[in-house]
Amino acid sequence: MATCLRLRSCAAPHLRRAPPSRICRPRADCPVAPIRGYARGPAGLSSALLRTDGFVGGLWVSAAATFPVHDPASGAELGLVADCGVPEARAAVRAAYEAFCSWRGVSAKERSSLLRKWYDLMIQNKDDLAKIITAESGKPLKEAQGEILYSANFLEWFSEEARRVYGDIISTPAKERRALVLKQPVGVAAVITPWNFPSAMITRKVGAALAAGCTVVVKPAEDTPFSALALAELANQAGIPPGVYNVIPCSQKKAKEVGEALCTDPLVSKISFTGSTATGKVLLHHAANSVKRVSMELGGHAPFIVFDSANVDQAVAGAMASKFRNSGQTCVCSNRFLVQSGIHDSFVKKFAEAIKTNLHVGNGFDERTTQGPLINAKAVEKVEKHVSDAISKGATVVTGGKRHHVGKNFFEPTLLSNVTRDMLCSQEETFGPVAPVIKFNTEEEAVAIANAANVGLAGYFYSQDPAQIWRVAERLEVGMVGVNEGLISSVECPFGGVKQSGLGREGSKYGIDEYLELKYVCFGGL
């Protein structure tokens, strides 16, 4: 738990925000270039929200260098963003640490009110925020609009949870003593977020942190920094005090050193990361030296099991929703389809028909589009590698199987049958629009295949057998299970995994606990 050491007072319950026009001035340890402030961006994007500088201590901070952000659908440059490095990261941590000493003393009611104002501004600007997501991530606009509502709902949820942080009084054997348990904010939280949900992954973490009384430094993914910076603009408008919410965008080249700086800074008390398991392990190593609190939402390899008793049409609808949302680029996407032999052929036939009929590849701003681009060329290459490996080992391409003619980052929605466990798509998370189907015979076989992975984020299965539903739900080694349901995320429910899929939970009434410490107080002499 962080302690404010160098400040005169930690009891400032009412704080003022910085005016939106304030700009950071150069300092020796934080080199800055001429201020740009806003990106021009393509037509249709809000110039008021499309910020290009970092946001530190309530000020818009530029850096000595910039990096380009591109539209993955067209390759067009959206703008040049401040390429913050270690000096800017340390400055952001200091700003957050200084703000924490006051923010922790703000009443839960006032924190709740400010989070609610931030939520209200997100709803007022939901269309512009969604367009930013589509521009920088390629996500279809309807999905982006859904993400903004999902993202805003985390601020609403945690604005309510802020007032529900309760302690305990414990009975003791001694009559002259009373035992109390207090819940207090951890301190400064470093938040490192991915590109696939560039808004929701921020508010899910930041909403909980601010509600608990923590302050944050956000390092967004280099592919999608505009969403984080737009949230900073709205946070400032909402009256979130300077230093409580900070954003330091950086290029892929600087991401490693900035991540290490955040994880090793002694003023940071908490690390929250969503991303790959490999990167999570590196950050855990850095955080271990100072024994920081950590939350990790890491990679998945979700099984989707269809038993003979399942309703095939419902299973196909669930498979479509679970697999092809965001073109298969979500951590809870179904990655392995395990279908029992008695229902296998029917499921594959109807799944293929649904893919051909309902999925339309194109630019995310086109109203008809359901499948946008993959985030970059590297992502496309991985999908191609998984498909070609499967084909070389005997898999059959039922539909799709190659790059789409729309553009270099597009890939056809693909269904593979005759897939075996030795293929890459059965062993690794594809993170793309590929649905490999493995045939199985018994429940025990399906559960064994599903649990063979070293990760366990989400799992899905379809069955009409009540006894089987209980057995499989309890036996699947995952943190979240969808039973006859392909979409399971909800702000009210805990999100997280087991094994190498991470540590801790986000969202729900449990999410705020990740940013709180328990303190036992023994009150004697009564």
Question: Is residue 430 within 8 Å of 410, Cβ to Cβ?
Answer: no
The verdict on whether 84 is a catalytic residue reads no
- Cβ contacts of residue 44 below 8 Å, gap of 6+? 131, 365
The SS3 of residue 240 is coil
Instruction: Specify whether 331 is catalytic.
Output: yes
Among candidates 428, 453, 416, which has minimal Cα distance to 339?
A: 416
- In angstroms, the CA 327 to CA 109 distance is 40
User: CA distances (Å), 387 to each of 101, 299, 403, 425, 435, in order?
Assistant: 53, 20, 11, 8, 10
CA distances from 66 to 21, 84, 136, 163, 387 (A): 21, 8, 16, 41, 36
One of 101, 331, 333, 425 is an active-site residue; which one? 331
Apex 388 CA angle, 276 and 196, nearest 5: 30
**CA atoms within a 13 Å half-sphere pointing along the CA-CB vector of 526:** 10
Sign of CA dihedral 74, 79, 80, 85: negative
Element (H, E) at 287: helix 277-288
Distance CA 106, CA 213 (A): 8
Residue pointed to by tokens 């590929």: 434
Catalytic residue among 98, 136, 161, 297: 297
DSSP line for 9-48: -S------PPPTT-BPPPBTTB-------B---STTS-TT
Report which of 253, 193, 197 is spatially closest to residue 217, judged by C-alpha positions: 193
Coil/strand/helix, residue 463: coil
Residues of 266-301 as b/e, b for ≥16 C-beta within 10 angstroms? ebbbbbbbbbebebbeebbebbeeeebbbbbbbbbb
* Count of alpha carbons within 13 angstroms of residue 344, beta-carbon side: 17
Distance CA 184, CA 197 (A): 29
Active-site positions read 297, 331
